[in-house]
């Protein structure tokens, strides 16, 4: 079951410039950064009232986020909902005809298990589902 909006991810070509915008200009706080190797990204976390903005930047100029930047420049990349049972949600949504980018969940930031719904089966929006490890739950 989907329980909350986990984060909104923005692809940025220049992480330092984006941190300056969101922290210095808009006044959000940087809670941390993490390299997410399976996604080939460095991710910066900016919490804001019950959810967070994630700035995602390609590691070594490679991976799907680099492809997104090459095609469209920076911008909104995906929204992520927290799931309390990602396998059950994937099965249910597959049964409704949604396609996923992977057959099974993959490791995400913060020890999560994540899966992405293909934007072509979701009205052009890339939707991520994330299940947090039990000890860390929100």
Q: Which residues are catalytic?
A: 128
The nearer residue to Co ion, 12 or 80, going by C-beta atoms, is 80
Q: Closest distance between Co ion and the C-beta of residue 21, in Å?
A: 19
Rounded Cα gap, residues 4 and 51, in angstroms: 8
Q: Closest distance between Co ion and the C-beta of residue 38, in Å?
A: 12
List the alpha helices (DSSP H) in the chain.
15-19, 64-72, 86-95
Instruction: Return the SS3 of 12.
Output: coil
The nearer residue to Co ion, 24 or 72, going by C-beta atoms, is 72
Rounded to the nearest angstrom, the gap between the alpha carbon of residue 18 and the centroid of all alpha carbons in its chain is 16
Q: By the criterion CB under 5 A, which residues form the site for Co ion?
A: 9, 80, 128
């Amino acid at each position: 079951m989907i329980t909350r909006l986990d984060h909104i991810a923005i692809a940025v070509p220049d992480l330092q410039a984006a941190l300056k915008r969101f922290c210095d200009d808009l006044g959000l706080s940087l809670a941390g950064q993490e390299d997410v190797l399976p996604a080939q990204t460095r991710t910066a976390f900016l919490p804001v009232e019950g959810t967070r903005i994630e700035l995602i930047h390609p590691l070594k100029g490679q991976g799907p986020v680099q492809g997104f930047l090459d095609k469209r420049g920076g911008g909104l990349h995906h929204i992520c909902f927290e799931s309390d049972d990602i396998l059950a949600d994937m099965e249910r949504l597959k049964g409704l005809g949604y396609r996923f980018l992977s057959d099974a969940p993959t490791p995400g930031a913060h020890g999560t298990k994540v899966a992405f719904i293909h934007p072509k089966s979701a009205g052009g929006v890339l939707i991520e589902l994330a299940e947090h490890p039990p000890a860390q739950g929100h």
